[in-house]
Amino acid sequence: MARVAIIGVGAIGGVIASLLEQIGRHEVFLCVRRPLAGLTVEKPEGGTVSVRAAVVTDPAAAPTVDWIMVATKAYDVPGAAKWLGMLRAQGAPVAVLQNGVEHRERFAPYVPMESILPVVVDCPVERQAPNRVRQRGVMHLKAPESALGRAFVELFAGTPTDAVEVPDFLSAAWTKLCNNAAGVLPTLLLQPAGVFRDEAIGDVARQIVRECIAVGRAEGARLGDELAETVLQAYRAAPSDSLNSMHADRLAGRPLELDARNGVIVRLGQKHGIPTPSNRMAVALLTAMVQKMS
């Protein structure tokens, strides 16, 4: 049994909490800004899970735990870091379950590098209300092969999730970023995943992903040319009414993970001298749209 703290109980954090609740062998703490009156997760196999974990709203009153899972948005690292002092009183490792490819870099100012475990998360899930999450499919978790990665995977033994160690974590992270990068289009257009079935939009999505592939390769990732088409077909196979997390955030008026999902492609493209015009345009347009509405 482990004492596990989850910082950020949105869509991903909610599913993580429900998985640990289902096996019932861990003590789970939900670290949130405001009181949470229960948490219900609709499962893809049918039925719901009611999470009965302890809710903590004050970082100064947080318990000491064995594991910390950060499931906040990538831009909210300073907010998440406020919880780490008490939670890490005995040096607990920090699993970073965020989008992008800069997991360790974001938390390096707050946690020793050897205690940071980057995790790639892939799960079709939507937060329908502050205390209700709809999980549409299996959660896939990928951690780098290491002692920490092995211990992280063991936390989920017996759960209906696919938690594994991978030998080439860099490529796994960039593959996920390729998927996330294309999600800027429905966010821009304020249309769900069905918009990818339009041929012109599909062509733009391919180009966004091709730029991500080129930059990822320059960073050392192994990414095949076919990945652009694979990403597009995955979006086209998704329920036409499904929303990616950045699209949902824009609809709700929340800040966007634009830098972690597309801005990083532009930034690292500049570093390597690789043109990224499609991602650059998407970032500029969405930034201007959000600023106009604020």
Q: Catalytic positions, please?
A: 176
Enumerate residues 6+ apart whose C-beta is below 8 A from 50: 21, 38, 39, 40
Closest C-alpha to 222, from 185, 169, 149, 171: 171
Q: Report strand pairing: 132-135 vs 140-144.
A: unpaired
Which H helix or E strand runs over 64?
Answer: none
User: For the chain, first and last CA: distance in Å?
Assistant: 46
Element (H, E) at 53: none
| DSSP result, 23-43 | H--SEEEEE-SS----EEEE-
Separation of alpha carbons 186 and 247, rounded Å? 7
Instruction: List phi, psi (to 5°) of 53.
Output: -70, 160
How big is the CA angle at 69 (ends 63 and 72), to the nearest 5 degrees? 105
